[in-house]
């Protein structure tokens, strides 16, 4: 295993590589199968700059996510996009790293209001497949530097370059949170209720539907955050708005903080699928197509997030969920399955031929030797 301690070591390791490299961070978000010598960024750690007044933080890619979140929480600030912790559903150990979050563009329930990880990312440093150090973006929120490699690196899973440093804009934490829930709705009713909340003026920061409690009863939930008085007012309005769908209840927490409570952590981390033998699929569609996904997958266990636009589905081992979803626009990623299923179906949704050609061209520019996580994304 290659364990560079800094960016210079990283560049040297990639330059001298004689074959494929399997790039990992903390080893908690293993997706698909990979070949090659392991290159871990976990040794490159440390918060390099944190300016609470400027709402910016800069850290080395191997810095544990928990360290970032603790530093922000001490100033009542947070990463806006609420990154998921994959350890429960993947059965992995170790510590999630901030570089791994960026590499996977990992985003949680607040994405519907605050955007994805890439939307908060303002700067990156990385080493490409030829061993060249590349810098793009900066350490301030306003910056124009030409090509937007910042957005390109988010979600590239280490196939274009290995991150060494990332910079984020952050947001203040919330003084109060309220969750408005309605039990017993079917998927169609739930998506209609979530849509009503999201299209309202009440600034919903989470909209999910699924069996998130101690039993299999589906609950539809809307979350609002902010100052206590504002949250109380908006919660009352949302209860009235949802009355036509069923009895709405409010759960309120007024403790100051920037974390995620247990209910929304269960949604964020899809913990209802932890420890089961199901294959786990992550399906991204238009929220209005969530009903079609539910109909196509029949009795599969499902959790709906992002107002119905993100569907977590537990399927029978080896089953081809993409074939069942044919005709529905979107993409389905195989998050958890055995190696044979990953090899047969592919981890990531196949790209249309024109887009695949563009993707290949970009990879050839950044990784001309084809050594960074080869085969992972097609």
pLDDT digits (tens, 9 = 90+) for 260-290: 688 899 999 999 999 999 999 999 999 999 9
- Per-residue pLDDT at 80 exceeds 70: yes
How many angstroms separate the CA atoms of 30 and 24, rounded? 8
Q: Packing angle between helix 187-198 and helix 228-242, nearest 10 degrees?
A: 140
- Please report the pLDDT score of residue 141 as a whole number: 47
Amino acid 30: pLDDT? 76
For the chain, the three-class secondary structure string (H helix, E strand, C coil) is: CECCCCHHHHHHHHHHCCCCEEEECCCCCCCCCCCCEEEECCCCCCEEEEEHHHCEEEEECCCEHHHHHHHHHHCCEECCCCCCCCHHHHCCCCCCEHHHHHHCCCCCCCHHHHCCHHHHEEEEEEEECCCCEEEEECCCCCCCCCCCHHHHHCCCCCCCEEEEEEEEECEECECEEEEEEEECCCHHHHHHHHHHHHCCCCCEEEEEEECCCCCCCCEEEEEEEECHHHHHHHHHHHHHHHCCCCCEEEEEECCCECCCCHHHHHHHCCHHHCCCCCEEEEEEECHHHHHHHHHHHCCCEEEEEHHHCEEEEEECCCCCHHHHCCCCCEEEEEEECCHHHHHHHCCCCCCCHHHHHHHHHHHHHHCCCCCECCCCCC
What pLDDT was estimated at residue 321? 97
pLDDT(292) > 70: yes
What does the chain come to in residues? 378
Query: What is d(CA 335, CA 269) in angstroms, rounded to the nearest whole number?
Result: 13
Q: Is the pLDDT of residue 253 over 80?
A: no
For residue 274, give the nearest of 148, 89, 41, 24 by alpha carbon.
89
251: left (phi over 0), alpha (psi -120 to 50) or beta: beta
For residue 36, with 0-12 CB atoms within 10 Å meaning exposed, 13-18 middle and 19 or more buried, which class applies? middle
Residue 147: per-residue pLDDT? 58
Q: What is the pLDDT of residues 204-246, one digit of tens each?
A: 999 999 987 666 788 999 999 999 999 999 999 999 999 999 9
Query: For residue 29, what pLDDT band results from cuts at 50, 70 and 90?
Result: confident
CB 52 within 8 A of CB 68: no
Per-residue model confidence (pLDDT) at position 299: 86
170 pLDDT higher than 90: yes
* Predicted confidence (pLDDT) at residue 91 exceeds the cutoff of 70: yes
Opening angle at CA 281, ends 280 and 284, nearest 5: 155
| 143 pLDDT higher than 60 | no
Average pLDDT, the chain: 92
Residue 142 confidence (pLDDT)? 45
* Position 41 confidence tier, pLDDT thresholds 50, 70, 90: very high
pLDDT class for 144, splitting at 50, 70, 90? very low
pLDDT band, residue 378 (cuts 50/70/90)? low
Instruction: For residues 84-112, give the mean pLDDT.
Output: 95
Residue 112 binned pLDDT confidence (cut-offs 50, 70, 90)? very high
Main-chain dihedrals φ then ψ at residue 278, nearest 5 degrees: -70, 150
Distances from the Cα of 332 to the Cαs of 59, 220, 377, in angstroms?
31, 23, 13
Percent of the chain beyond pLDDT 70?
93
């Amino acid at each position: 295993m290659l364990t560079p301690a800094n960016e210079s070591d990283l560049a040297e390791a990639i330059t001298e590589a004689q074959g494929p490299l399997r790039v990992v961070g903390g080893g908690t978000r293993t997706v698909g199968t990979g070949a090659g010598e392991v290159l871990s960024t976990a040794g490159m750690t440390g918060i390099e700059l944190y300016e609470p007044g400027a709402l910016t933080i800069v850290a080395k890619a191997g810095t544990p996510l928990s360290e970032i979140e603790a530093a922000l929480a001490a100033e009542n600030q947070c990463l806006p996009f609420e990154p998921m912790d994959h350890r429960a559903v993947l059965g992995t150990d170790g510590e999630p790293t901030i570089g791994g979050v960026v590499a996977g563009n990992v985003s949680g329930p607040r994405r519907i209001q605050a955007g994805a990880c890439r939307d908060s990312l303002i700067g990156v440093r990385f080493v490409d497949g030829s061993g060249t150090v590349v810098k793009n973006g900066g350490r301030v929120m306003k910056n124009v530097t030409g090509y937007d490699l910042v957005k390109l690196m988010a979600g590239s899973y280490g196939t274009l370059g290995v991150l060494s440093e990332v910079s984020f804009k952050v947001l203040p934490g919330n003084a109060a949170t309220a969750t408005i829930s309605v039990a017993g709705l079917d998927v169609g009713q739930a998506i209609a209720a979530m849509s009503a909340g999201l299209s309202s003026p009440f600034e919903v920061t989470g909209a999910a539907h699924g069996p998130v409690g101690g039993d299999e009863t589906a609950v539809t939930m809307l979350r609002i955050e902010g100052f206590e008085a504002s949250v109380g007012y908006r919660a009352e309005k949302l209860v009235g708005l949802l009355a036509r769908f069923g009895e709405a209840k409010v759960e309120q927490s007024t403790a100051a903080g920037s974390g995620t409570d247990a209910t929304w952590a269960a949604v964020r981390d899809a913990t209802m699928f932890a420890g089961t033998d199901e294959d786990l699929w992550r399906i991204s569609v238009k929220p209005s197509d969530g009903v079609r996904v539910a109909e196509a997958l029949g009795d599969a266990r499902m959790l709906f997030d992002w107002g119905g636009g993100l569907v977590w589905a537990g399927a029978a081992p080896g089953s081809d969920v993409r074939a069942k979803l044919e005709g529905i626009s979107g993409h389905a990623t195989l998050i958890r399955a055995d190696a044979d299923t990953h090899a047969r179906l592919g981890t990531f949704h196949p790209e249309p031929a024109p887009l695949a050609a563009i993707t290949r061209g970009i990879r050839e520019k950044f990784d001309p030797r084809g050594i960074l996580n080869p085969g992972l994304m097609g």
